[in-house]
Structure 1
Amino acid sequence: MFSIECFSGVQSVSSGWGVNYTGPICAVRGSNVSILCSYSYPSSHEVKTVSWCSMNSNKELCFDPPYVYDSSSNSTSEEFQYIGDKQSDCTLLISNVQFNHSAEYKFRFITNEKGGRWTGHPGVTLQVGDLQLTGPPENETLKEGDSVNLTCAVNCSLSPPQFVWFKNNQRLPSSDPVLHLPALTVEDSGSYSCALKTDEAARSEIVCYKDRQIILLILLSRLHPIFSIFNNIYTYIFCNPYCYLTPSQQSIFTPCILHCLTLLLCSG
């Protein structure tokens, strides 16, 4: 018989009991996050119940409810799903994470033996932030050959985040927070987006998530900027002096724009 009520976020080899988490997690608001977790116990035991608690709502070290997930309860949650098992995998999936999901989370399990129970302490910290993609100022005049910096940032303080960049949904080699386009040409036309580079295999939905998007449509540059707004899109049109656009032409993209550089900025 075992009477155990210990806490360890690192597996104890001598006792055979333990819970292992991944490191702190920075997640983008609105994404789905998997908290990877594994646990161990003596082979003579059989796990009966598993549960997860949030330290935002559970002030009793996860000994008792409330739990965000409890296998002994009939209630279900659309936010928290246990995708582990009762053998060794204790992974928790949180869907559509919001700011109020930022917390320390702990896993607890109880076996069939008297006093056979364990809570992983300390737990794993989740911090939720907004992903921000910024580009040139709205009043900046650009022309072909100019350089442009696109900056990706997320307001998480756990650790310096790494990013991945996409152009037309194709991944770019850069993982820096700033994507530098040194000399704009027509080849730079496309849809640019960024995402967090956390654990791409385990959290692919975070990697694929796009909270902000900048679209660069570059045709031919010159002078004479014209500014218009349609469909909530800020549009800069830089045309040759002989390229005259009427107000209606500015909003319907006539062939005249083929003689212009157009920079569209839209937030997704």
Structure 2
Amino acid sequence: MNSRSAARGFLAFLLSLPALQGEVGYAVGCTSKTVCALKESTVDIICTYNFPKKDKELNVTQLWHKGKKHKAVSLTKDADYEGRVEYSCGEISCIENSCNGTCALKIKNLTQSDSAEYMFSFIINRKSGKFSGDPGVKLSVTDQVMVSFASSTDPTRANMTCHSMCSPTGGFKYNWFRNGQCVEQGIYYKGNISSKDNYSCAVEGYKRLHSPLVYVPKTPSVTVSPSGEIVNGSSVTLSCSSDANPAADYTWFKEHEDSVGRSGQNYTITNITSELGGNYCCQAHNAIGRHNSTCFYIHVTETSSLTSFIVRIVVVSILVLATILLVFLFHRTTRASREASGLGEAAEMVGEVEGEVRDRNADF
């Protein structure tokens, strides 16, 4: 294809865009409707524009602005962009009855507040001579860098991928860090994983844009509810927790047995029996490793200590009452015996006195 045919094809593309402000032959087309860029980086947004050749001799001004065309204020006059924006507009060329040009907007040292819709307008020095591309180009600025994981059957090795939210499948160069020290370059990290280390990645040249740290679960802790004595027939819940990123999943085990077949942070045993007692452990695991807890021993008693205490109190109370009753009866019986013995002695004394009286009467 010769240059003339190519130019005609490009012109046909521009003329296929919607006419601006209802006039035929005026158009703006941009290379992309959405652009994503990293915080602190530089972005270029490029648009082309077309107008009739009859306007070539008039003064044509290019303008980049933020938001809709009726609020058009050049970014070069916006204090938020001072020293950070540049226009780069090429020569206007004309073919047959149409002219076209290209204009690029460069924004440096991007901030997240730069996320907005940017529009290109060209102004021709005549009445109603302002034409804008609508909609404009939506720019998204992100500082998010993430680590994703491929499935692995080896708990000591990891297969990790670094990507930014702007480029899920690559497009940047990345550095990998272990405990804050750069250890590898590239989009992938494949290697042995230590439970004592943490890992992260960053876009090369943007070290401050780190992904969150990822690491193997720390040693899990196990708690039980309710705490204290566990009685036969009651319900008990075991809970497992571990510091991990990505977040850990949990599997429960009973010592010297296979998995109890339960997954999840909590494990509840209803209607527990002494046979279900024993040492219970949990395993915390995520995409890059796993760690087992120390075991928690569950002792199941037939009755609760409270019940045993109450029974002992009742028995002791009965014994005390029985003792008091026996003492009372003993004292009562003793008193009755003493009173009966006193009456006999009195009767005997009366008999003796009566005998003496009779003897004296007989002497007289």
Instruction: Report the TM-score when normalising by structure 1.
Output: 0.49
Highest Rg: 1 or 2? 2
Q: Give 1 or 2: higher helix fraction.
A: 2
Higher relative contact order (CA 8 A, sep 6+): 1
Give the TM-score taking structure 2 as reference length. Answer: 0.37
